[in-house]
A and B are shown apart, each in its own frame.
Chain A
Amino acid sequence: MSTYSISSFESLIKKINSESEFLDTILYETAVPSTEMFRDPSLWRWLREVYFPDTVDRNTGRFKIWLPACVSGGELFSLTILLSELGLSDKVQITATYSSDKILEYIKKGTYDPKKLEVSEENYKRANGSRELADYYRTDKNNIIRDTSLIANVEFRKLNVNFDNVPQNIKLILFRNNLIYYNPTQQDKILQLLYGSLSVSGHLVLGIRERVSGVSTSREFEVVNEAESVYRKRMLN
């Protein structure tokens, strides 16, 4: 708060209400970036070796993927690298959303935190990446710039914190380690919205220590891969 010369909680609320751009700034400043690229390599192996080969080819329409909380591009770049290596880039439509325009602009630039590179490289190898992670970024002085051609066809869209107006007919939602920042009531509400966004038998991937546990939502999702927290939309009668 000292960065913005705000002295109290009341003045923070006042500033958010009176300056529309300031809310975006707050959401930008408080965003928790994803940890490393290809976090939990075993999930990425499963997506590479089981899920995508089994699912995308059979699909006649455009295969829609949604990243609801695209905070730092870690998941987005990992996903687009994987799809590119599988030769599936043309068959999917990815929508990346976040509540702050500033965050989305940051991701589009491809900038990456050099501190996270070492673990990301290891993760990529463990995820059975078919090339070198270094093929997907360049070093510019002390900055890492990821290959933005990977995300050229991604639709970036601002989504408010209440998740109003979610995209529809989604086959795969990648929403890992964001639900943890909500309380159980809010978690349940968000899961309901994600359920509504998924197409028939669409998949939802949560972080490995997150799970669908709400009273109503537990009925609406079935477990596909417990170790990797992958769920499938269940059709209710």
Chain B
Amino acid sequence: MGYKAVIIGGSAGSFQVVTRILNSLPKNFPVPVLLCLHRLKHVRSGFVEALSLKSNIPVEEPYDKELLKPGKAYLAPANYHMYVELANRIALSTEDTVNHSRPSIDLSFITAANAYREKLVGIILSGANKDGAYGLKKVHDNGGIAIVQDPNECEVKTMTQSALQLTKVDFVYSTDQIISFLQKLSKSND
């Protein structure tokens, strides 16, 4: 259906979910996958390697102004905000923390929503603060698909509940349902 990107935000309790999602995506996933996950500011190695272990698609921490390519996952680097620019490029920033976070999920989602409009799928996973709620609203307001992991399944519910309070989302999905949604999207996007 002509989607151009998938963006996933998560914090505490999201690592296993992201790992399962990456493990189930087809190798030729037709769009880039942006990952904005809260992480320690000072630990910059190890995370991308851990996610790569079971991922079917390459996972990278992008450099500034890197061009986004289909079939790749881009993890927001430690202590940088990750923006999406209109020309399908990443832009990094060291501006102040938002919702006590850098990377901030809101900033990644807002800029992606602005760049991809209705051709974006935004997914908020388990997490311990409200970062991402406003960003998912922007995805929805711009006509994109807004998905929230079922809070009953989340290790920490705060993030998904905050998102649900702010936005009438398209789907509340379990991890399995998120996976089958993305697999379907992959086929229909061909």
A residues lining the B interface (CB < 8 Å): 32-36, 39-41, 119, 122-123, 126, 177, 179-181, 183-184, 187, 207-211, 213
User: A209 and B102 in contact (CB under 8 A), knowing A32-B95, A180-B91?
Assistant: no
B93 touches A180 (CB 8 A): yes
A123 to B96, CA, bound (A): 17
Interface residues of B in 71-124 (CB under 8 A from A): 77, 79-80, 91-96, 102
Cβ of A119: which chain B residues have Cβ within 8 Å of it? 41-42
B187 at the interface (CB under 8 A from A): no
A104 to B91, CA, bound (A): 27
Cβ of B95: which chain A residues have Cβ within 8 Å of it? 32
Most chain A Cβ neighbours within 10 Å, of B61, B62, B94, B102: B94
B residues lining the A interface (CB < 8 Å): 41-42, 44, 61-65, 77, 79-80, 91-96, 102
A210 to B80, CA, bound (A): 11
Q: A178 — nearest CB in chain B belongs to which residue?
A: B94
Tally A-B pairs: CB < 8 A. 50
Cβ of B44: which chain A residues have Cβ within 8 Å of it? 40, 208
Instruction: With both chains docked as a complex, state the minimum distance between the C-beta of A161 and any C-beta of chain B, in angstroms.
Output: 18
Interface class of chain A by DSSP = loop
Most chain A Cβ neighbours within 10 Å, of B61, B62, B79: B79
A183 to B94, CA, bound (A): 16
A197 to B41, CA, bound (A): 32
Instruction: With both chains docked as a complex, state the minimum distance between the C-beta of A227 and any C-beta of chain B, in angstroms.
Output: 8
Cβ of A122: which chain B residues have Cβ within 8 Å of it? 42
Cβ of A179: which chain B residues have Cβ within 8 Å of it? 64
A209 touches B91 (CB 8 A): no
User: A209 and B80 in contact (CB under 8 A), knowing A177-B94, A180-B93, A180-B94?
Assistant: yes
A35 touches B42 (CB 8 A): no
A36 to B97, CA, bound (A): 11
A32 touches B94 (CB 8 A): yes
Cβ of A35: which chain B residues have Cβ within 8 Å of it? 79, 94, 102
Q: B95 — nearest CB in chain A belongs to which residue?
A: A32
A209 to B96, CA, bound (A): 17
B94 touches A34 (CB 8 A): yes
